[in-house]
């Protein structure tokens, strides 16, 4: 099955700086890569995703890049703000049918702290 590794486990940045979180996956059949933000006591919230037919996607201050050859993808947050402080999870899934399709395998999470 799929295995997703996420680094770092914790990340502290000064407000206004950039933050980068990296994930690798093992299953070459995976073609959908979402990122979730989970604030303390809240549900995971989908913030951005990327599919294997594109290499980069951006939404305001957040962007995700995908390198299919190396099987890794990254989340980039620019101009960080205190409200970006949360745990971020990457995930991977395959949509190609068969057993396990559409199921998300999550990384272990990154706790991001933005220091004012």
Partner 1 sequence: SAVISQKPSRDICQRGTSLTIQCQVDSQVTMMFWYRQQPGQSLTLIATANQGSEATYESGFVIDKFPISRPNLTFSTLTVSNMSPEDSSIYLCSVGTGYNEQFFGPGTRLTVL
Write down the least CB distance from residue 41 to partner 1, Å: 9
Work out which of 7, 58, 61, 108 binds partner 1, going by CB under 8 A: 108
For the chain, give the secondary structure using H, E and C.
Answer: CCCEEEECCEEEEECCCCEEEEEEECCCCCCEEEEEEECCCCCCEEEEEEECCCCEEEECCEEEEEECCCCEEEEEECCCCHHHCEEEEEEEECCCCCCCCCCCEECCCEEEEEEC
Residues in 18-47 at the binding interface with partner 1, rule: CB under 8 A = 32, 34, 42-46
The region of 10-18, 19-27, 58-66, 106-114 touching partner 1 under the rule CB under 8 A is 106-114
Work out which of 17, 67, 102, 115 binds partner 1, going by CB under 8 A: 102
**Binding pattern to partner 1, positions 55-94, x when CB under 8 A?**
----------------------------------x---x-
Write down the least CB distance from residue 32 to partner 1, Å: 5
10-63-66 Cα angle (round to 5): 90
């Amino acid at each position: 099955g799929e295995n997703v590794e996420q680094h770092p486990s914790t990340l502290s940045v000064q407000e206004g700086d950039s933050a980068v979180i990296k994930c690798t996956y093992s299953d070459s059949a995976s073609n959908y890569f979402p990122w979730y933000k989970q604030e303390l006591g809240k549900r995971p919230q989908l913030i951005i995703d990327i599919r294997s037919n594109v290499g980069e996607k951006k939404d305001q201050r957040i962007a995700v890049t995908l390198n299919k050859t190396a099987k890794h993808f990254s989340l980039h947050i620019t101009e960080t703000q205190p409200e970006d402080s949360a745990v971020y999870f990457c995930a991977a899934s395959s949509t190609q049918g068969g057993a396990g399709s559409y199921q998300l395998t999550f990384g272990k999470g990154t706790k991001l702290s933005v220091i004012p």
